[in-house]
Amino acid sequence: MTRITVAALLLTIPLQVDGSPCDASEKWEQAIAAKGGREKLESIRTFFWSGEMTVWHGLSRKKHIDQELYVLPNFAWSYHQNTHPGLGSNVVFEYLDRGYSLNTNDSPPGFSRPIPKSGAFAGYLAILLMETRWTKPKLEKCTTAESTQEEVIEALFNEKRYDFHFARGEQLPSRVTDSVALGIIETTFSGYKAFNGIVLPTLVQQISPAPLNQKIVLDLKMRYEINPEVPSGLIDSDPTLTMAPEGWRKVKSNGKTH
């Protein structure tokens, strides 16, 4: 009799399958609370992250560095010390309100590259912080993926879609995927720690598609600064490789480097 009762009960429980809906808003609010709360996130005015990894080329050991400083809402400084052959190092300034960027790899020097006046940053800022005062997603839908034991939220930042994957029972995303022309970029997070009350991953792996069916894999050890003091002359200075890494700290109030 007990077996029959249990079997009958199981038949009445709806089984979840891939694509079953979940509550996007509820899941997102749980994640924001787990990161430290919306008030903390909206208090961010400047945000710096640095990711480093060691790469071996034969017997030669080199360091790969990616860094970005955001002066919200309109300016970003970034530095890339790339170990991939032929790519080298570069510094980029982005001006969302002016609609252009400056890159030390562009020619002639000082050439400005048009960018959309989107009104808010996405990219790493969005996937690391999820929200700021100026960066807010439009939540599309939440689905349960039984095959991977995940809940997945589709979120739009400036019409760019990012899929936030949450492992079953976890409140913070374990990975984020987004589409580019060559395929899917997958960014995986682990080693979450609190930085000034905001919980961020200390290990980030990013797998990006490349031509000829290759992949670029970055395993970055991350560190962060919340609301670091920024030199007043940084935004109107010129990007130069002498400013990097962490070259944004070396700018004087008149825009000149030390």
* Token duo for residue 202: 């200390």
Q: How confident is the model at residue 7 (pLDDT cuts 50, 70, 90)?
A: very low
**H or E segment at 38?**
helix 38-42
| pLDDT cut 70: percent of the chain above it | 86
Q: How confident is the model at residue 6 (pLDDT cuts 50, 70, 90)?
A: very low
Q: Three-state SS for 96? A: coil
Where are the domains positioned within the chain?
20-250
What kind of fold does domain 20-250 have according to CATH? outer membrane lipoprotein receptor (LolB), chain A (2.50.20)
Average pLDDT over residues 21-26: 95
For residue 117, the model assigns a pLDDT of 77
Note the pLDDT tens digit of each residue in 131-185: 999 999 999 999 998 888 999 999 999 889 999 999 999 999 999 999 998 899 9
Residue type, 133: R
Within the chain, strands assigned E span 20-22, 46-57, 60-71, 75-81, 89-95, 100-103, 112-114, 138-145, 150-157, 160-167, 175-180, 183-195, 198-210, 214-226
Name the one residue in this structure whose structure tokens are 């979940």.
22
For residue 256, the model assigns a pLDDT of 60
